[in-house]
Amino acid sequence: MEAWVFSNIVVAILITAAVGLTGVVLRSRMWSNAFLSLWRRRRVAIIAIGFYVLVALLDSVSWVGGEQFGEDAVAKYQAQSILDRAFAGIRERSYSAPLASVEFYGGAPLVHPGRHLLGTDLLGRDVLHLALKGARVALLIGGLTSLIAIPLALLFGVSAGYFGGRIDDFVFFIMSTLASMPGLLLLITLIMVMGKSTFSVCIALAVTGWVGFCRVSRGETIKLRELEYISAARALGVGEMRIIFRHILPNLAHLVIITFVLMFSGLVLSEAILSWLGIGVDGSWGQMIDQARDELSRDPIVWWNISAAGSALFGLILAVNFVGDALRDVMDPRTLREGE
Amino acid sequence: MSRLLSVEGLTTRFPLAGVHVPIVDESTFAIDRGEVLALVGESGCGKSMTALSIMRLVPKPGRIHSGRVELLGRDLLGLSVTEMRAVRGGRISMIFQEPMTSLNPVMRCGDQVVEAIRLHDEVSRKDALARCRELFVQVGIPDPDARLRAYPHQLSGGLKQRVMIAMALSTRPELLIADEPTTALDVTIQAQILRQLLELRREIGMSILLITHDLGIVNELADRVAVMYAGRIIEQGERTDVLGRALHPYTQGLLRSMPALATPGRRLPEIPGVVPSPAEWPMGCRFATRCQLAEDRCRREVPGATARSDNHVASCHAVEEGRAQAPAGGEPEGAAR
Ligand SMILES: Nc1ncnc2c1ncn2[C@@H]1O[C@H](COP(=O)(O)OP(=O)(O)OP(=O)(O)O)[C@@H](O)[C@H]1O
Ligand SMILES: [Mg+2]
Run means of pLDDT, 10 residues per run, chain A, 340 residues: 87 94 87 88 93 93 72 70 83 84 82 84 87 93 93 95 93 91 89 89 92 93 90 90 92 89 91 87 89 82 89 94 87 55
Confidence grade of residue B170 (pLDDT, cut at 50, 70, 90): confident
Which residue, judged by its Cα, is nearest atom 30 of ligand 1?
Answer: B44
| pLDDT attached to residue A280 | 85
SS3 B287: coil
| pLDDT attached to residue A154 | 95
Atom of ligand 1 nearest to the CA of B41: 21
Given A32, A67, A86, which residue is the final one in a domain?
Answer: A86
- Lay out the sheet containing B224-229: strands in order across: B92-95, B175-179, B207-212, B36-40, B224-229, B232-238, B312-315, B305-309
Confidence grade of residue B335 (pLDDT, cut at 50, 70, 90): very low
Best residue of B83, B106, B119, B154 to probe chain A, by most A CBs closer than 10 Å: B106
Query: Stretch B65-84: mean pLDDT, rounded?
Result: 92
Q: Are residues A211 and A286 in the same domain?
A: yes
Q: Are residues A78 and A120 in the same domain?
A: no
Query: Stretch B77-85: mean pLDDT, rounded?
Result: 91
What is the extent of the structural domain holding A12?
Answer: 1-86
Instruction: Quote the CA–CA distance of B335 and B329 in Å, as a whole number.
Output: 13
Q: Are residues A145 and A42 in the same domain?
A: no
B89, B101, B120 ranked by CB distance to A235: nearest: B89
Q: Are residues A65 and A180 in the same domain?
A: no
Helix (H) or strand (E) holding B298: helix B296-300
Q: Is the pLDDT of residue B289 over 60?
A: yes
Residue B33 makes CB contacts below 8 A (sequence gap 6+) with B1, B2, B3, B4, B174, B205, B207
Confidence grade of residue B69 (pLDDT, cut at 50, 70, 90): very high
Given A21, A55, A86, which residue is the final one in a domain?
Answer: A86
More confident residue, B280 or B226: B226
Predicted TM-score (pTM) of the model is 0.80
CB contact under 8 A, A229 and B153: no
CB contact under 8 A, B104 and A246: yes
Beta-strand pair A62-63/B19-32: unpaired
pLDDT tens across B190-227, in order?
A: 888 888 888 888 888 899 999 988 888 888 889 999 99
| pLDDT attached to residue B189 | 79
Q: Are residues A18 and A82 in the same domain?
A: yes
B85, B115, B151 ranked by CB distance to A337: nearest: B151
> Between A and B, how many residue pairs show a Cβ–Cβ distance under 8 A?
71
DSSP label of B15:
E
CB contact under 8 A, B105 and A232: no
- Lay out the sheet containing B3-16: strands in order across: B19-32, B3-16, B63-71, B74-75
CA A53 to chain CA centroid, nearest Å: 10
DSSP label of A244:
I
Instruction: Quote the CA–CA distance of A107 and B4 in Å, as a whole number.
Output: 101
Q: Are residues A289 and A153 in the same domain?
A: yes
Which residue, judged by its Cα, is nearest atom 8 of ligand 1?
Answer: B59
Contact of B31 with B228, CB cutoff 8 Å? no
Residues with CB under 6 A from ligand 1: B 14, 16, 23, 41, 43-49, 59, 62, 213, 278
What's the whole-number average pLDDT of chain A? 87
CB contacts of B88 in chain A (<8 Å) are 234-237
Number of domains observed in the structure of chain A: 3
Query: Distance (Å) from the C-alpha of residue A229 to the closest C-alpha of chain B?
Result: 4
Q: Are residues A96 and A67 in the same domain?
A: no
Q: What is the CATH number of the domain that holds A330?
A: 1.10.3720.10
Instruction: Quote the CA–CA distance of A207 and A193 in Å, as a whole number.
Output: 13
Contact of A130 with A193, CB cutoff 8 Å? no
Q: Is the pLDDT of residue B29 over 90?
A: yes
Q: Is the pLDDT of residue B337 over 50?
A: no
Q: What are phi and psi of B298, to 5 degrees?
A: -60, -35
**Radius of gyration from C-alpha coordinates of chain B:** 21
| pLDDT attached to residue A69 | 55
Binding-site residues on chain B for chain A (CB distance < 8 A): 55, 57, 60, 85-90, 93-98, 101-107, 115-116, 119-120, 151, 153-154, 164, 167-168
Q: Is the pLDDT of residue B15 over 50?
A: yes
Contact of A302 with A95, CB cutoff 8 Å? yes
A165, A229, A237 ranked by CB distance to B104: nearest: A229
CB contacts of A340 in chain B (<8 Å) are 151, 154
Residue A326 makes CB contacts below 8 A (sequence gap 6+) with A38, A41, A42, A45
| pLDDT attached to residue A339 | 41
SS3 B3: strand
CB contacts of B90 in chain A (<8 Å) are 237
Q: Are residues A260 and A285 in the same domain?
A: yes
Q: How many CB atoms lie within 10 A of CB A85?
A: 16
Query: Distance (Å) from the C-alpha of residue B112 to the closest C-alpha of chain A?
Result: 9
| pLDDT attached to residue A279 | 86
Nearest to B254 by CA among B219, B292, B283, B227: B227
CB contact under 8 A, B57 and A228: no
Predicted interface score ipTM higher than 0.90: no
Q: Is the pLDDT of residue B330 over 70?
A: no
| pLDDT attached to residue B227 | 94
Query: Distance (Å) from the C-alpha of residue B67 to the closest C-alpha of chain A?
Result: 21
In the reported structure, the alpha carbon of residue B14 is separated from the centroid of ligand 2 by a whole-number distance in angstroms of 16
Contact of A118 with A304, CB cutoff 8 Å? yes
More confident residue, B267 or A141: A141
pLDDT tens across A270-323, in order?
A: 988 888 888 888 889 999 988 888 888 887 888 888 999 999 999 999 999 999
Best residue of A33, A225, A229, A255 to probe chain B, by most B CBs closer than 10 Å: A229
Q: Are residues A149 and A199 in the same domain?
A: yes
Instruction: Quote the CA–CA distance of B176 and B182 in Å, as a whole number.
Output: 14
Q: Are residues A203 and A296 in the same domain?
A: yes
Q: Are residues A158 and A301 in the same domain?
A: yes
Mutate to test the pocket of ligand 1, among B20, B21, B45, B97 (most ligand atoms within 8 A of CB): B45
Which residue, judged by its Cα, is nearest atom 24 of ligand 1?
Answer: B43
| pLDDT attached to residue A111 | 81
| pLDDT attached to residue B79 | 92
DSSP label of A90:
-
Which residue, judged by its Cα, is nearest atom 14 of ligand 1?
Answer: B46
Instruction: Quote the CA–CA distance of B210 and B218 in Å, as a whole number.
Output: 8
Q: Are residues A43 and A136 in the same domain?
A: no
